[in-house]
Structure 1
Amino acid sequence: MAIKDAFNKMISYFDTDGVSEVEEELSSKKQEEPVTKSQQTSRPNQQQQAARASQPQQPKQARPQMQAQQRPQSQSRAAYAERPYQGQSQARVSHDYNDRRATSAPSASSRREQYQHAAHQEQTTIALKYPRKYEDAQEIVDLLIVNECVLIDFQYMLDAQARRCLDFIDGASKVLYGTLQRVGSSMYLLTPSNVSVNIEEMNIPNNGQDIGFDFDMKRR
């Protein structure tokens, strides 16, 4: 029995050593596994950090290039945008100049028309008449009605007919506020009210007779 107990003790001793060794191996393995896991986890983290560190450097290097490329594009766009604006400004200037020219041209033409119209109104017409019969006196009065001056020459009429014509014309001139003036031996000037005539005094034969009748008129 004593031998068996000693033998069992020896077996148990060796068993405990093996168990302790196994436990030590297991504990060492457990310690190694976290280390390896930590190393494995640290390695991806280091790789990610290295990748992150390398990634921002690329945009930093690419940004100046992109900026350098964008600057000419922006400048070209600005120049292209300025060109239409310059063209529009030139078109506006030419349009304004054409408008001013168009407005000034009618004003100049209207001024000419007004000047011509005023000159036409101020223009005075003198008609020269050689009455041969009494009925011609009515035509002379009609000219006075339209504000025309009439220079009458009685050289082709008899004395009696000339007196009748002068009487008729003199009465019509007073009604129409005209004037009848003798300007020659057989010539008389009939003027409307808006025309004044200054005649120098002349030595006319038989000037003292009534209304200036001249009995020395030419006859035919």
Structure 2
Amino acid sequence: MAASGITILHKCKLTPITLEELMEYSFYALYQLSYLADTARFGQSPDMYSDWDNSDEQREFVINSHLWKTVNFIWEYAEKGMHIEKLNEAYVNDLLVDLYKWGASCDSVLLHDGSFGHETLEVREAGSKLAYKFLARIKLDLGWNIDHAFPAASLYPMTHETKLSTVEYALLAGLSHVGAVRNEASSKSDQLITEKIGNNILIPVEVARHRLPKKRKFVSTQGVNYDSAN
């Protein structure tokens, strides 16, 4: 975690977040938030902790939480292209703030503990990946200037106000790492058009709208025609 906000560790694969990964992440996030509250109030950790074993009890614990209802809604838009009709600037900003509060609290524990349990790196980074894919799809679908629309966007330094960062493009395209994006940008046969601002390589949204629908792992948002998206 950078001091200025939530980031994704460079070693983490940027492949799509599965629902099972999100549920495991949510279980650990709920525990860490309970841990922080209970140690602050009582000086001791909660009794509910165990490593994730995907039991019916653990799944029910997650599914019944407000955190799960929130991150599942975001996941359905970011990964499946659902719910675009429910998005507006105030609602999206609230969602980004909640993701930041929960994710930053978990990261503060990870700075000391190193991991939640025996989770994969992709599970540990699921919250951060989800936030950036959410922001990327909003820019792709709606063309919103996110710094203008969402004050909370400043909490996510790996994004850009109007263009897609290499991380965001890779997330939408289903690529494992940003290196694949750089390979596209240097291809002689089918070059990805990019812009360089400082040390950052950025992809114009218009370019991404043309290229991403051709990607096998890209999931289109329901009801969006990328040839005419605004």
What is the TM-score when the length of structure 1 is the normalising length?
Answer: 0.21
* Structure of greater relative contact order (alpha carbons < 8 Å, 6+ residues apart): 2
Higher helix share: 1
Higher strand share: 1
Flag the structure with larger Rg.
1
